[in-house]
Amino acid sequence: MTEIFSKRFERSLGQLVAAAKPGQSVEAWTFDDTQSRRAAEEQLAAKGVTARIRSAYKPLLFYFREEIDLSGVEAIEIRYPVHAKAPENRFRLETYPLAALVGASEINFVARQDGEFFYDVTLRRAGKTETHKVVAPNRVHADVVGETNVSPTGWLRHAGEAIGERLVTDYEALFHEAVGAISRHPWGRDEPYFEELNIRVGYPCADEPLHIGDEVVSLREALHEDFYFSLLEFFQKKSGRPLGDRGLQPGQIVPDIVKSDGAVTVHIELKPLSTDFHDGGDQEIDVAREPLAASQINRLLDATGGEPFSARSRAQRKVSGRYIKGSDAAVMISGGQHPNETTGIVGAIRAAQILSKRQGAHFTLSPLENPDGYALHQRLRIENPSHMHHAARYTALGDDLEYRTREDARGRVNEKEIRFRAQELSGALLHVNLHGYPSHEWTRPLSGYVPRNFAMWTLPKGFFLVMRHRAGWEDRAEAMLDMVTRHLGQIPGLLAFNDRQIDLYEIHAGETGFRLINGFPCLSSVDNRHDVPMTLITEYPDETIYGDDFIAGHRAQMETVLSAYDAWQVILAEAA
């Protein structure tokens, strides 16, 4: 192992308490949970200091939670800033999911074009109005790849000061120093640059559930996301690739952000790849309440029958598939390309169990295409079971296997071979590729808040379908989406689930950017990247859900496979 950086940081709240003088009155904004901020206020009060310590992360949401009495409020107007260096809806998104937390009060968002970092809030109750100016401390800065961001920051204001000054918090310092140390390390010239780059952070901050769907305020999860994607961007730039290039193969980046007992620490080192799984016990698959053990996935796959085929991951884990040959039109079924999207893995196997009993069934099944990512997801869930863990999204090479081709794989086809073999064996013209996306808000607070290149997926918006097809296949693609969404609409509760999430999404995001087909958000486009002429991609909000929510998710995935399979037989028969 090679150590790159290690440091313990003085906690910002401790610094505030130590520096304060009796008789002072101060306001501060830090990246801390509610309990920690209230405890610091009590310590300051014991010193004779009047203090209010607010959250620098999602400040308006916390202002409503901690300082506004909503009793009797009939209507709320929020005038939010629009900054030239940020997405138009950036500060509107930052208030999410406020609209679901204000009860029956009508809420209205109005853009304010001055770009000043505060919200104007007007409350109306019993014919009277009251106003609040809610400060949202931000800074405009360049990140490690030279992009300009508008990011939340700490702030300190003493009594009598109109503005105050930036407070560089422990949260910001550990991130920027750690990323800086990684950027200065001599990485060499060729990808991959390492096996595992491990960033172990201890931060004393509890997750705070909001009791709205799966929503939770988690500074530790946000830090994981910021580290992971900022470092991907750094290595993209180092390699000469454009930002967002999913073919980059730096190695496996692992931000491991854990709750500490008070210390703020970061330790960065290079490690060898892991080769094992952190498996649990078996579950009854139809009512599985959490992601399956890898060993059970393999046994269930074996029980499907058919002809086995396989590939190997970078860490030499086996990638397994089955080919069931029949008289029907063939369909490829896959899951686990992004293995932190876990309902598709279960849904694929459940669907295959049903299809394999049909006369003439003809399909391939590869339910876990990225076992290295799955193993990492298992590992990270031990400390943080409800975080989305996008470090487990890509392979141990650090790329998205979807974008790996034989032509540019540089001898590292690895996991992608499972797709090539499935198509060669079956000759399928349809691929049903099961995916998921975050079940709660996804943010990058220290690099602009809205995840770069993933803005569409920052908020959940129901069960989403994406159709990619070759030119000339538009009619078949439209027929597929219509048939599948009609079938899915018959699942009890699924349309209502979509409606709730889409309504909240529209309030906070504004324009949706998608169309609804039979109550399901959909995108359909010509895309010649895929080897198969038609690819139906599911996106269920499943990062990370458990219990009844997990069961509902893998049932929806299973029903999608079954309905797409049946629709495909009809579509090709009508075209013949």
Residue 6 backbone dihedrals phi, psi, to 5 degrees: -150, 130
Quick one: average pLDDT of 66-78? 96
Among 265, 363, 370, 380, residue whose Cα is nearest residue 314: 370
pLDDT at 484: 98
SS (H, E, C) 72-106: CCCEEEEEEECCCCCCCCHHHHCCCCHHHCCCCCE
pLDDT at 512: 73
Tell me the two tokens of residue 392: 């487990």
Task: Scan for tokens 């968002």, then name that residue.
Answer: 109
What average pLDDT is seen over the chain? 96
Quick one: average pLDDT of 473-501? 97
| Lowest-pLDDT range of 242-246, 268-272, 350-354 | 242-246
pLDDT at 494: 98
Position 268 pLDDT exceeds 90? yes
What are the extents of the domains in the chain?
10-168, 173-271, 292-440+454-575
Quick one: average pLDDT of 453-475? 95
pLDDT at 410: 67
155-195 pLDDT per residue, tens: 999 998 989 999 999 999 999 999 999 999 999 999 999 99
536-553 pLDDT per residue, tens: 999 999 999 999 999 999
> What residues does 29 pair with on adjacent strands?
54, 155
> What residues does 121 pair with on adjacent strands?
78, 132
403-415 pLDDT per residue, tens: 888 766 566 899 9
pLDDT at 531: 83
pLDDT at 481: 98
pLDDT at 60: 98
Among 366, 393, 358, residue whose Cα is nearest residue 297: 366
Task: Scan for tokens 């919200």, then name that residue.
Answer: 119
Residue 512, SS3?
coil
For β-strands 252-259 and 196-203, DSSP reports them as parallel
Report CA-CA distances (Å) from 489 to 464, 494, 517, 518, 567.
12, 7, 10, 7, 15
pLDDT at 412: 80
Report CA-CA distances (Å) from 1 to 196, 228, 269, 278, 354.
10, 20, 7, 22, 47
Reported confidence tier of residue 575, pLDDT bands at 50, 70, 90: confident
The secondary structure of residue 429, as a DSSP letter, is S
Position 560 pLDDT exceeds 60? yes
Position 530 pLDDT exceeds 90? no
> What residues does 216 pair with on adjacent strands?
209
Cβ-contact 178, 228 below 8 angstroms = no
Quick one: average pLDDT of 389-411? 87
pLDDT at 29: 98
Q: Residue 476: which residues within 8 A CB-CB, separation 6 or more?
A: 469, 534, 571, 575
Cβ-contact 266, 210 below 8 angstroms = no
pTM for the whole thing? 0.96
Distance, in Å, from the CA atom of 377 to the CA atom of 388, rounded to the nearest integer, reads 9
| Lowest-pLDDT range of 338-347, 398-407, 460-469 | 398-407
pLDDT at 415: 94
241-264 pLDDT per residue, tens: 999 999 999 999 999 999 999 999
| Lowest-pLDDT range of 3-7, 415-419, 529-533 | 529-533
State the DSSP H helix or E strand holding residue 518, giving kind and residue range, or none if neither: none
Position 98 pLDDT exceeds 80? yes
Alpha-helical (H) ranges within 240-290 are none
- Which of the listed CATH numbers 3.30.1390.10, 3.40.50.300, 3.30.70.1380, 3.40.630.10 matches domain 292-440+454-575? 3.40.630.10
Reported confidence tier of residue 510, pLDDT bands at 50, 70, 90: confident
Reported confidence tier of residue 511, pLDDT bands at 50, 70, 90: confident
pLDDT at 528: 83
pLDDT at 434: 98
Q: 499-502 long-range CB contacts below 8 Å, 24 or more apart?
A: 499/462, 500/213, 501/213, 501/460, 501/461, 501/462, 501/541, 502/461, 502/462
Cβ-contact 536, 432 below 8 angstroms = yes
Tell me the two tokens of residue 182: 């990684």
Task: Write b or e for each residue in 514-539: b if 16 or more Cβ atoms lie within 10 A of its Cβ, otherwise e.
Answer: beebebbbbbbeeeeebebbbbbbbb
pLDDT at 409: 55
Tell me the two tokens of residue 148: 């300009």
Length of the chain: 576
